[in-house]
Every structure is written in structure tokens, then in C-alpha cells.
Amino acid sequence: MCFHRGGREFGLRKGSKTDSSAAQADSFADERGERASACSGRNDPLVVGLNRNGMKYHGTQTSRGFGQLLPLSWKNTLAEPEGTLPSMTSIVAPSASTIRKALNEFEIDVNAGQVGQIQEYIRLLLVWNEKVNLTAIRNPLEILYRHFCETMFAAKVVELDQCRLADIGTGAGFPGLALKILLPEAEVVLVESNIKKATFLAEVVRALGIAGANVLVSRYEELGEEIAPIDFLLARALGEFEVFLKWAASDKVDARRVILWVGAADVEQVRKDPRWAWEPPVAVPQSLRRALLIGSKVVA
């Protein structure tokens, strides 16, 4: 998994781990002046995470590979910590039976490993949400329904397995990272302009042991060949649909289809865009006001 910022890529060698996710968040405050050895000329991917010494690193991309890695701190990721973050053990995620029951209401089947990933994701989300504004929803059960069930529902509407997906303005990782848990064979690019949120995403990818997910730190309007080609562009609660759909239809993006999670009031306005051929909207279960819109790029 790689973590990019514009034309740069940040991270550590694959496989870095620590003992506690709560400790990982706290360790951002470490201001030691340690430096990693130079990685110039290496082609192996780097990931954002903590190394064996508990340090957070970023690196700049060079024409030959990656330059010297430097420690990250709260100064360039999160705000200066005040007090202690909640312990991961103090966060109670929904039980396995509750998760299966909720997903079954959306006709979604998951295995034991995926249930465990959802539970860990919810714990991480609630811990990090104390320092980073990731979600206004703080009830674990509501997070399960609104963030996981509603986004995973797209896989019941359209075949996404083994596709290349790009989640634009992913925020806390919904819908892209939730779909990646459900569809391990899919390749997912998570586009997020806020480096604090992107750092959280990279930590979730590391902690859950997810392969085939990249975090790209950039405004989506500035992207093109960095994410092309794309089978599906995903956007949830993005707004500015006209701007997004114009960019998505451009030749530089080379997106074939889009999936939008929209409010019922926005459905007709979005469907007026002539650059996309729209399928009938699909109501999201357990919701009276949200729908999925699936569009295919109109070939001139």
C-alpha cells in the first residue's frame, strides 16, 4: 500500500507494525530527530505507519525512487495532543452477530475475517475521531449502518469485484475502504485532500492488513493520469456534482462509470448531466432519503 501526496509518496517499508493502535496514534507526538536510512533507487512500495521504533516517517519521491525518510510529528499531521487518547480496549464495537444481522438487512454476506476488520475499523475510527474530525456519527451501531452497510450495498447493485475503484473525497474511508473489505480482489485508490484524514486512512489500511489500497493526498480536480484508468469513480456526500462529473468525464481521468451516493433531492439534478447515461436510481435500504446513482460515460 502506498501513500501519495500530489506527486510525492509517503511512508515506511511494507510490514512495519506496533503493538497497540492507540499507542500508534499517541506516538505521533514523538519529536526525536532520528532519520531513516536513504532509500534512493529503491522501487519497493512504502506505506504510512510506524516503524519498529515507534516512529512515523514520510519520504519525498525522486526520479530514481525515494529520498531520505524523515520523521512525521503532530506538527504536520495532527494537532498537538491534549491529554491521552482513548484506549482501543475502551471502545466497544458491535458484536459479530450484530454486524452480520445489520449487513443481512442489506443482503450482504461477510466472513469472520471481514467481521473482525469491520470491528477494528470502528474502534480506530472512534479513537482517531477524538483528534481528527472524521465523522459526526459517534454511535458504533449507527456507524455500522450508515457508513458500512450503506456503502457496501453498492456491491449488491453492480459487479465491483476485481475492478479498479477510485473513491473521491473519501474522508474516513467511505465508501472506498469499506468496499475494499468486502471485495478483497478489487483495487482501490482513496483520494483525500486532508493529510490528517489521509494519515488515518493509511493507518487503517496498515492495521487491517489490507493489500491493494492506495491513499492519494490531493484535490481531485488536479488529478488525471495518476489514477487512470478507472473502472468506477465513487463519490459519497461530495457535493458540487457538476464540477465532479465534468472532471470525471474528461479524457485525462479515463473513467468508465461513476457511482454516487446522493440524497433523494439531488437525484434529478444529477441525472440531467449529458456526459453520463444514468441507470434508474436505487433506493438505499433502511433510508427514505438516500439513493445510489450509477452512470456510464457517454462516448462522443
pLDDT in tens, 16-27: 343 344 444 443
Which pLDDT score is estimated for 109? 97
Contact residues for 132 (Cβ-Cβ < 8 A; gap 6+): 78, 196, 197, 200
* DSSP letters spanning 12-34: EETT---S-HHHHHHGGG-----
Regions of the chain short of the pLDDT cut 50: 1-4, 6-83
pLDDT at position 15 is 38
Question: Mutual orientation of helices 112-128 and 96-104 as an angle, nearest 10°?
Answer: 100
Supply the pLDDT for residue 86.
Answer: 60
pLDDT of residue 84: 54
Task: Name the phi and psi angles at 85, rounded to 5.
Answer: -65, 155
Q: Is 259 left (phi over 0), alpha (psi -120 to 50) or beta?
A: beta
pLDDT at 300 (0 to 100): 73
Over residues 205-248, the pLDDT tens digits come to 999 999 999 999 999 999 998 898 899 999 997 878 999 999 99
Ordered by where they begin, the domains of the chain are 152-297 (3.40.50.150)
How far from 72 is each of 55, 102, 131, 229, CA to CA, in Å? 8, 38, 16, 32
